[in-house]
Copies of this chain bind each other. A is one copy, B any other.
Amino acid sequence: MIELPSLVDQHCHGVLRTELGLGTFEAYLTQSASPAASGTTFFDTQTGFAVRRWCPPLLGLEPHCPPATYLARRRELGVLEAGRRLLRSTGIGTYLVDTGIAGDLTAPAELAAAGDAQAHEIVRLELLAEQVADTSGTADGFMTNLAEAVHGAAQNAVGFTSVAGCRHGQALAPEPPGPGEVRRRAGRWLSGRRVGDRLDDPVLLRHLLWTAVATGLPLQLHGGVGDPELRIDRTDPMLLADFVRATAGLGTDLILLHGYPYHRQAAYLADVFPHVYADLGPALARTGPRARTVLAEALELAPFGKLLFSTGGHGVPELHVVGARLFHEALGRLLGEWVAEGVWSRPDAERVAGLIAAGNARRVYGLSGGPSSDGRGDH
């Protein structure tokens, strides 16, 4: 086994502050927005089995105990205490929290406190634009307010994230739209919009991406099958090739999230373009005993300085646990095997493990050197 440093979880969300029933909990074990089909349950998934493998012992139960037993114990401890026990077992020292998901979720500082860790915010562009739209009367006002909001967010956040690829497909026109076109689209969108409506105009989505690129902060792009939004058939990161080429050399790094099952393609882009990085998150966290192979696939073409650990955890801390444990086990065993076979040297393996677990994220997001130091934006 290869030892890992304190982990940087470069893509996750907060956890719910409320108790969960069997059905509510089950909804977090899938990427579906629908209930399980009749006669089936989402506990019967790799995610469900992985939760039942690792989490019961953290709350004093046997591994693989029935879901109802586990949730009863969880309620007995209370959501706060259970969350603390779970999060503190992960080995994660720093959380980068995408605050763009709806729901009564813990803010970064709260997640950090529960997990005895640090946290930094990643701002979701579409939500920011929707919030700006809620309070902007005109297209001009919207554009000014949006520019200010993105600029302001860049002061405190360590990065931005976008779901443009999931809402409209990755194959957006690569160049920045002109200001006149943006104004027209903004006017049209605002005039037909009710408070809370989502942004899905492709011109405005592109405008958001380029506004974020201009800040120089790392920009996470959702792709792969992590988000069952409208365009699940257009989320192959290879479709981003033109946008990636258009943003080359500008000084802003792009992080491809959720590459699976296109993680080999994401790894290729990370090889070919200096400013492209590939996230390992849900590809590992959702695949149970297969995480080792999925990780190995990402390690085929990607330079080892270009891969980033994450859990993708959201809603329930069990997902942060599972994501961290699967990563730890997969990376440790995979590299350990390669060292044993003489394919890699041990010092190389330990160095690479440290890069993927934490070092690459620290470098890309400009985080301070270790979990005990004080970084910009710590909570």
Contacts and interface: CB of A to CB of B under 8 A. Distances in A.
A93 to B, nearest CB: 20
B272 A32 contact: yes
Contact of A300 (B38, B253, B294, B352): B294
Interface in A238-284: 238-239, 241-242, 248, 253, 260-261, 264-265, 268, 271-275
A345 interface: yes
B39 A305 contact: yes
Contact of A290 (B44, B53, B260, B297): B297
Interface stretch (A83-91, A194-202, A336-344): A336-344
Interface string A45-61: 11001001100000000
Given A49-B348, A225-B268, 14 more contacts: A32-B273, A34-B273, A37-B274, A37-B306, A39-B305, A39-B363, A46-B299, A63-B345, A232-B238, A287-B300, A288-B300, A289-B341, A289-B343, A290-B300
Interface in A331-379: 338, 341-345, 348, 352, 355, 363
Contacts of A305: 36-37, 39-41, 44
A150 B38 CA distance: 26
Nearest to A64: B345
Given A238-B233, A290-B299, A268 B261 contact: yes
A274 B36 contact: yes
A300 B348 CA distance: 30
Contact of A53 (B225, B231, B342): B342
Contacts of A342: 53, 63
Contacts of A348: 49, 64
Given A32-B273, A49-B348, A288-B343, A233 B241 contact: yes
Interface residues of A, number: 69
How many identical chains are in the complex?
A: 3
A124 interface: no
A30 interface: yes
Nearest to A286: B301
Contacts of A49: 343-344, 348
Given A49-B343, A265-B261, A272 B31 contact: yes
A34 B275 CA distance: 10
9 contacts: A39-B363, A40-B306, A45-B271, A45-B303, A46-B299, A225-B268, A228-B272, A232-B272, A233-B239
A273 B33 CA distance: 8
Contacts of A239: 233
A296 interface: yes
A23 interface: no
A293 interface: yes
Contacts of A299: 46, 290
Contacts of A21: none
Contact of A296 (B231, B290, B341): B290
A301 B363 contact: no
Contacts of A253: 37
A304 interface: yes
B343 A53 contact: yes
Nearest to A302: B45
Given A44-B305, A304-B45, A248 B341 contact: no
A78 interface: no
Contacts of A242: 233
